[in-house]
């Protein structure tokens, strides 16, 4: 099969490099022509978990050009960049599939505006990656991947998706197909709405959230508010999910959240698709979320000020 990875950030570079190393036919589509040119000239340098530095040569083009004709398009861009990608997806073959890897919620509805439901698949993953330069990516943590159709209770595995699962498995990804991807989206959202904005506001690594009673108290209130919204949306969220969030902070204690990395690099943060989603969903369902709303507005303000100063 042929795969196009759209996005030259940490996840896009890592996935493209790992798939290419094990023989998959991968093309990389970047946001800028400059990055595409640098990748074509130098390749991607993959820094593995074991300290190896492996050059991987991948064909790259920019999104300004026509998308390559492939079987699967993996959207490895931020929620904030989806609007620049959607017009290009209107011209892909009806037999092609699109796999969206975004954090947060709401991207499925935007994809449905330009694609049929049968074409759209969502991915939830916990893989750790950090892009150091436009062509250098570090694999910082082993995670798991779950993939599912936006059509609920789809148990039959589509051929394109099945081929990708095989290729990803060969590349060393822990990956599976699930019949209800939204359960996994909500679970990840519960962690993101707590960890990402607070590490961004305080500019600290994930583990430092657990080192003071004050941050733990804020985390707990934010979790309970998000839980109320999730339950009202028909999701089952339990105390185990709270313990999972604490364990994530421990397991990634030295990692900086993607939202904090975006803030420090002057990029728009994904706050609207994460905390903004909880706040707006709460309003629709009549569930109050004052702590979520306060943190959401504070993060928006901080990001705006950082961009102005930059």
Annotated catalytic residues are: 188
Cα angle 210-270-123, degrees, rounded to a multiple of 5 = 90
CA distance 280 to 273: 10
Cβ atoms of residues 104 and 274 within 8 Å: yes
CA distance 19 to 170: 8
9: exposed, middle or buried (Cβ count in 10 Å: 0-12, 13-18, 19+): buried
Q: Which residues of 270-287 are buried (b: 16+ CB within 10 A; e: fewer)?
A: bbbbbbbbbbbbbeeeeb
Order the strands of the 2-6 sheet from edge to edge. Answer: 59-62, 25-30, 2-6, 72-75, 97-100, 120-125, 144-149, 174-177
Cβ atoms of residues 98 and 111 within 8 Å: yes
Cβ atoms of residues 273 and 106 within 8 Å: yes
Cβ atoms of residues 17 and 3 within 8 Å: no
Question: Phi/psi of residue 305, each to 5°?
Answer: -65, -40
CA distance 62 to 149: 27
CA distance 119 to 175: 19
Q: Which residues pair with 123 in a beta bridge?
A: 147
Cα angle 259-28-41, degrees, rounded to a multiple of 5 = 105
């Amino acid at each position: 099969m042929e795969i196009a990875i759209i996005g030259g950030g940490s996840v896009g570079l890592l996935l493209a490099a790992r798939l290419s190393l094990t023989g998959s036919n991968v093309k990389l589509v970047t946001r800028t022509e400059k990055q595409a040119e640098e990748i074509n000239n130098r390749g991607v340098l993959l820094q593995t978990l074991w300290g190896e530095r492996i050059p991987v040569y991948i064909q790259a083009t920019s999104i300004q050009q026509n998308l390559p004709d492939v079987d699967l398009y993996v959207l490895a861009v931020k929620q904030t960049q989806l609007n620049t990608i959607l017009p290009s997806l209107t011209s892909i073959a009806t037999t092609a599939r699109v796999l969206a890897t975004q954090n947060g919620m709401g991207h499925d509805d935007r994809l449905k505006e330009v694609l049929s439901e049968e074409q759209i698949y969502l991915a939830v993953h916990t893989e750790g990656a950090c892009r150091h330069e436009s062509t250098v990516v570090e694999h910082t943590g082993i995670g798991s991947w779950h993939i599912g159709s936006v059509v609920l209770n789809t148990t039959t595995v589509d051929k394109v998706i099945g081929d990708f699962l095989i290729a990803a498995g060969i590349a060393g990804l822990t990956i599976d197909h699930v019949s209800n991807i939204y359960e996994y989206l909500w679970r990840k959202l519960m962690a993101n709405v707590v960890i990402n904005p607070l590490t961004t506001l305080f500019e600290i690594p994930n583990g430092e959230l657990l080192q003071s009673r004050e941050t733990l108290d804020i985390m707990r209130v934010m979790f309970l508010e998000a839980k109320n919204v999730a339950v009202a949306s028909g999701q089952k969220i339990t105390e185990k999910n709270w313990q999972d969030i604490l364990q994530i902070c421990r397991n990634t204690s030295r990692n900086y959240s993607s939202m904090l990395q975006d803030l420090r690099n002057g990029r728009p943060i994904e706050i609207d698709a994460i905390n903004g989603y909880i706040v707006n969903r709460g309003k629709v369902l009549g569930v109050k979320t004052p702590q979520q709303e306060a943190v959401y507005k504070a993060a928006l303000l901080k990001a705006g000020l950082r961009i102005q100063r930059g």
